[in-house]
Amino acid sequence: MITREHCAALDAADTLAHCRARFDLPADTIYLDGNSLGAMPANVPARIERALKQEWAHGLIRSWNDADWYPAPQRTGNKIATLIGAGQDEVIVADSTSVNLFKVLVAATRMRPGRNVILAEGTNFPTDVYIASSVAEMTGCELRCVDPDDIVAAIDDTVAIVSLTHVNYKTGKRYDMEAVTRQAHEAGALIVWDLCHSAGAMPVNLNRCAADFAVGCGYKYLNGGPGAPAFVFVASRHIEAMRQPLTGWHGHSKPFDFTHDYAPHPGIDRMLTGTAPQLGVIALESALEAFDGVDLDVLRDKSVALGNLFVELTDQELKGLGCTLASPRDAEQRGSQVSLGHAEGYAIMQALIARNVIGDFRAPDILRFGFAPLYVRYVDIWDTIAQLKDIIATDAWNTDEFKARKSVT
């Protein structure tokens, strides 16, 4: 039998426990939704205040040079590169994940002119499928969506690009990046990895896997704040051939020459489009300091331990309460979340949130719990399961308020 005391002992022995103090978290809340919006690193407000009151208000336009705003997307990209196994100058911060995916997919189709299939996963996060569908329409390609288990078998010599998310947003199921990338390459295809649910939650080894492209968002495990800018990775061997379609002036080799013809920047800067959303980039850059000195293997170990504890406590405490495990039981196949299925999932999650235990709900029946290893404690897992047990066992979710409550995220 696992007890709360056991969980507290795990926290006492946690070598990442000190990282929690790097975040400004409400004392009365258990937060297992860092895979939707990461918690706020405590250093962000002071950095933003300086950006506003000194750099913007006092420095004005001069701050593009004097406060180093101009190279912030590159600088922040390089910081993210260290978290995802990319080299320096292979990652840049820009736009949203959706917009970056559009850029990458169009550019990738141009690199495989004899092939016309974009292979994707039907159960991927919808925006990835929507964008791939639009790219297919604009480039004359066919979007072929298959089940996750059928991806590898579906990679044939008509496939130009395989577009996958490393960790599924709903189930938390994780692909073997190295194996699938190899398979794609053996068939002559290129591969794009969406890292929204893995960057900052575990080591990602883009270059060791020889991945071609990747995109990911800044506001989940990277803690960049609501709607933080996203990032895009292009393997250095592809950069020179990369012709992305959102050819805004900041992707130009000399944007301030204001020439008539577009000439892409020789490096990763060509993935930029418009003026960088500076407040968002600055928040993200300072947020990344929460990872300073953190060993990503240790981070992954804690993530796995939190997930395994959640699964074990589900077995132990929630038996007979209608919960199913909607994530892989094997941690090796799992990202940093555990999802439970329950027919009354929506109302149960609302009841849980009303008790300041925050996860989220994904239609039709998924209760989703994310474990950001920098700030989630083992006792948080215990307390969450205890509240879940009480809410379900006592029918506390079964009220009009919880069943009808508006929730968009």
Query: In the window 330-349, what residues touch its own copies (CB under 8 A)?
Result: none
Report the nearest approach of its own copies to the CB of residue 284 (Å).
10
Report the nearest approach of its own copies to the CB of residue 383 (Å).
16
Candidate residues 117, 228, 235, 290; the one interacting with its own copies per rule CB under 8 A? 228
Q: Is 123 left (phi over 0), alpha (psi -120 to 50) or beta?
A: alpha
Find the Cα–Cα–Cα–Cα dihedral 190, 196, 202, 208, rounded to 10°.
20
Candidate residues 2, 17, 99, 152; the one interacting with its own copies per rule CB under 8 A? 99
Catalytic site residues?
A: 125, 194, 219-220, 368
126 marked ligand binding residue:
yes
Q: Is 148 in the site for its own copies (CB under 8 A)?
A: no
CA-based R_g, the chain, Å: 22
CA distances (Å), origin 100, targets 168, 191, 272, 323: 19, 14, 9, 37
Candidate residues 246, 304, 379, 386; the one interacting with its own copies per rule CB under 8 A? 246
Q: Is 133 in the site for its own copies (CB under 8 A)?
A: yes
Q: Is 266 in the site for its own copies (CB under 8 A)?
A: no
Candidate residues 8, 17, 129, 304; the one interacting with its own copies per rule CB under 8 A? 129
275 marked ligand binding residue:
yes
Our CB check for its own copies shows the closer of 145 and 190 to be 145
Q: Is 15 in the site for its own copies (CB under 8 A)?
A: no
Our CB check for its own copies shows the closer of 140 and 320 to be 140
**Distance spanning both ends of the chain, measured CA to CA:** 35
Our CB check for its own copies shows the closer of 238 and 405 to be 405
Query: In the window 23-62, what residues touch its own copies (CB under 8 A)?
Result: 24-26, 29, 31, 33, 36-37, 39-40, 44-45, 48-49, 52-53, 55-58, 60-62
Q: Is 324 in the site for its own copies (CB under 8 A)?
A: no
In angstroms, how far is CA 368 from the centroid of its own chain? 15
Q: Are 173 and 333 in contact (CB under 8 A)?
A: yes
Query: In the window 65-94, what residues touch its own copies (CB under 8 A)?
Result: 65, 69-70
Report the nearest approach of its own copies to the CB of residue 33 (Å).
5
Stretch of residues binding its own copies (CB under 8 A), selected from 121-129, 146-154, 204-212, 333-341: 121-129
Q: Are 124 and 164 in contact (CB under 8 A)?
A: yes
Our CB check for its own copies shows the closer of 40 and 189 to be 40
Candidate residues 193, 213, 219, 397; the one interacting with its own copies per rule CB under 8 A? 219
Residue carrying the six token digits 């994310």: 370
Candidate residues 227, 312, 316, 393; the one interacting with its own copies per rule CB under 8 A? 227
Our CB check for its own copies shows the closer of 12 and 27 to be 27
Residue ranges for the known binding site for pyridoxal 5'-phosphate are: 97-98, 125-128, 165, 194, 197, 219, 249, 275
